[in-house]
Amino acid sequence: MLEQLTQLFRDSYGREPIAITRAPGRVEFIGNHTDYNGGTVLGAAVDRGIWVAVAPREDGRRRWRSGETGAVIETGAALAKLEGSSSWTNYPQGVISAMGEFGLTVPGGFDYAVHSDLPVGAGLSSSAAIELASALAFLHLTGQEVDKETLVKIGRKAENDFVGVPCGILDQGSSGFGEKDKLVFIDCRGPDFSTVPMPVDTHFWIFNTHTKHALVDGLYSARHAECMAAAADLGVNQLADASLELFQSEVHQLSPTVAKRARHIIEEIDRVGRTVKALGEGDLDEVGTLLTASHRSSQHAFENSTPDLDSLVDTLIRVPNVYGARLTGGGFGGAVMALTHAGFGDADAAEVSATYNSQWGATPQVIHMRAGEGARVMWRG
């Protein structure tokens, strides 16, 4: 990917970049929508991601090129949200905006190119990956360094304030703090970050349905608002502060919809804690049960699943060497993650895909992944 991106940069701008950065996508292992509710979550950086190359310009012009969309886009010093095929620039532009708010020097003119081996729209958070890779590139351009926690906060602020998605810290935190063969545990009230070893011979398989996964269309924002309403009705600052006992005693005060959203979050936070415990004990059957229970809660209580994702989970949990399966990411389409033993292979994945095709008339993209390294500078000129 480094050579491909370097050649893209040369073809676009007729010169060499001065730095190349990379940030991985992430798998949301368990903890669906708990992050912006102050809860706990387990994620993992994956071994695919987004790569960014940059070089400074003296004339103040900012030029952008994506290996996926083709054309060079030019903007001036003023930040402005773009639409259509240029809308991907909103993520790195949001990073520039956030850098200023963190008291950092923002880059002036530059040439920028981005390439990806991470599927877009699969619930793997390509948005967080481009934010963190861009932040590292812009920091290099301006001769600055920040710690990992500040880096992920810059990415989150870019998405919250400039792009307009009220996400929590899961996506950026997993991409920033990822380590090979480890999960990232985040207590979002800090936020505090630590890692949990993945059991030996376990793998992630992603089944990307290619169905709609556009968080900025309002569905994510609606769930966010419902959770905030639930916290207010329960008399707590955020749902992480509400115990199951409090919820059960006060549920009559909540509307049926808000009650379902609250139940999902409160029980999901409990499932995260139980998953960490089961991982520590090497009880992968229990981990799988908790993953599938998380999906059922998303399906029935949080209602951010879709019938095709539900059918994928139904199929996967019947296959040998699958511990459990659940939607990964914001939901409303996208992808299902299965945690498997090493005995689950390409032939098994093909059978799952064939079953899905017979039900839905489409073939999901199958991606075999392991937990990988977090965001970093890959090359300096």
CATH number of the domain bearing residue 24: 3.30.230.10
Same structural domain, 35 and 103:
yes
Same structural domain, 185 and 211:
no
Q: What is the pLDDT of residue 168?
A: 80
Pair of tokens at residue 189: 């009230």
Q: What is the pLDDT of residue 216?
A: 46
Q: Distance (Å, rounded) from C-alpha 303 to C-alpha 257?
A: 10
Same structural domain, 252 and 163:
no
Same structural domain, 153 and 295:
no
Same structural domain, 216 and 178:
no
pLDDT digits (tens, 9 = 90+) for 270-318: 999 999 999 999 999 999 999 999 999 999 999 999 999 999 999 999 9
Same structural domain, 223 and 334:
yes
Q: Which domain covers residue 352, as residue numbers?
A: 202-369
Same structural domain, 11 and 160:
yes
Query: Looking at beta carbons, which pairs linking 270-279 to residues 24 or more positions away fall under 8 Å?
Result: 270/244, 271/30, 271/31, 271/297, 272/30, 272/31, 272/34, 272/39, 272/40, 272/41, 272/42, 273/40, 275/29, 275/30, 275/42, 276/42, 276/185, 276/196, 279/183, 279/196, 279/197, 279/198, 279/199
Same structural domain, 117 and 80:
yes
Same structural domain, 64 and 95:
yes
Residue type at 238 in one-letter notation? Q
What number of residues does the chain have? 381
Residues 6+ apart with CB under 8 A from 298: 32, 264, 304, 305, 326, 327, 331
Same structural domain, 278 and 358:
yes
Q: Smallest Cα–Cα separation from 133: which of 57, 45, 74? A: 45
Same structural domain, 24 and 116:
yes
CATH code of the domain covering residue 273: 3.30.70.890
The total domain count for the chain is 2
Q: Distance (Å, rounded) from C-alpha 233 to C-alpha 203?
A: 41
Catalytic residue IDs: 171
Q: Quick check: 21 and 138 in contact, CB under 8 A?
A: no
Q: Quick check: 302 and 279 in contact, CB under 8 A?
A: no
Q: What is the pLDDT of residue 211?
A: 79
Q: Quick check: 278 and 326 in contact, CB under 8 A?
A: no
Low-confidence ranges of the chain (pLDDT < 70): 120-123, 212-217
Same structural domain, 65 and 28:
yes
Q: Distance (Å, rounded) from C-alpha 368 to C-alpha 348?
A: 12
pLDDT digits (tens, 9 = 90+) for 157-174: 999 999 988 888 889 999
pTM, two decimal places: 0.90
